[in-house]
Amino acid sequence: MSDDGTDVANGTQAPDETSDIPKYDLYIRASLIDNETQGACPMSQQGFMLSYILAQEKNVDFKVWTVSQVNPPADFKDKNRAKIYPFVEGISGKDINGQSIAGVMPESADKVEDFFDSVNFDCPHLKRPKNLKDHILGKIDGISTQFNAFMKGLKSEGVLTNILQSVEDHLATNDSTFLEGDMLSYTDCFLLPRLQHIIVAGKYFRGYEIPKTYRNLWRYLKDAYNSPAFSETLPTDADLCKFHWTRFPDANLNEFRKMGIKGVFGVETTNKKTNSIPDDVAATLKDTSANGDDDDVVDDMDD
């Protein structure tokens, strides 16, 4: 485990122990390359993003710890018997019901979600949607399953592209920066880490790229990369590739080795992170940071 937890996004000294502000430790999977820095678990990044934004909004104070997957500390294994990530441990403060969170340690992924909701005082956009039937999250919640099947050669890229088309269509009909408004929401915190896997690992192993014609999706990604809650919680590209390499069956590994992919990651450019959209795609998008007017865009996006 990392030697010292890191205060993130708070911008101030940690509050006094007597403060009612919820204070907790957030444990995420460590890198599979160095066993210390942040790893590529998308659920871990999702929890990291939620915590980051809650801290920015002064709802919580938290420290993030990385946990080695090779040799996790014995005391942590005792705490996290269910082996869930992210894992949280309440330190001090009170939840929205006025109950102390000291010693609270959720024992399932759903309970961790409940914990985040319980310390969310005034960020309703960060709470889980209750009804997914007509919600964009209901259309994309299977994205990891479909992507993993595609990576293993069990599904065609068309299945993955169809999910991305749903995101493109949603963004095209919503006049907002992100999926549910101009602030990152729970749904964005769910989707963006998984899109990063598609962008980096999908291209590396399968040559897959998000269609350049998905202008609204690319604009969404551009704005997301400019948001610290996403850009500051990104894993390295090498870790993203290593994450998937360790999950491929032998048949896939043999296939990739024949393609010249050896499965050695992090030897060079260990710290490289994809944190911007491709230049040729960016050139076709209006600069939303400069003004809010619709500029002309280049029609030919397939070059």
Question: How confident is the model over 44-63, as a mean pLDDT?
Answer: 98
Through-space distance between the first and last CA atoms of the chain, rounded to whole angstroms: 46
What pLDDT is attached to residue 4?
Answer: 58
Average model confidence (pLDDT) across the chain: 90
Q: Quick one: pLDDT band at residue 201, thresholds 50, 70, 90?
A: very high
CB under 8 A, 24+ apart: contacts of 79-83:
79/105, 80/27, 80/105, 81/107, 82/107, 82/108
Question: How confident is the model over 258-279, as a mean pLDDT?
Answer: 85
C-alpha 73/C-alpha 69 separation (Å) is: 10
User: Structure pTM?
Assistant: 0.89
Which of the listed ranges 7-21, 184-198, 282-296 does the model predict with the highest average pLDDT?
184-198
> For the domain 136-282, what is the CATH code?
1.20.1050.10
> Cis bond leading into 86, ω under 30°?
yes
C-alpha 238/C-alpha 302 separation (Å) is: 28
What pLDDT is attached to residue 19?
Answer: 80
What pLDDT is attached to residue 264?
Answer: 84
Domains 6-126 and 136-282 share a fold: no
Residues 6 or more apart in contact with residue 172 via CB below 8 angstroms: 216
Domain positions in the chain: 6-126, 136-282
Task: Tell me the per-residue pLDDT of 78-88, one tens digit each, with 9 for 90 and over.
Answer: 999 999 999 99
Residues linked to residue 23 through DSSP beta bridges, in sequence order:
61, 92
C-alpha 121/C-alpha 60 separation (Å) is: 9
pLDDT at residue 288 is higher than 70:
no
- Lowest pLDDT segment from 11-20, 67-76, 213-222, 248-257: 11-20
Q: In terms of Cα–Cα distance, which of 259, 183, 162 is closest to 228?
A: 183
Could you tell me the CATH superfamily of domain 6-126? Glutaredoxin (3.40.30.10)
Task: Tell me the per-residue pLDDT of 108-140, one tens digit each, with 9 for 90 and over.
Answer: 999 999 999 999 999 999 999 988 878 999 999
What pLDDT is attached to residue 12?
Answer: 39
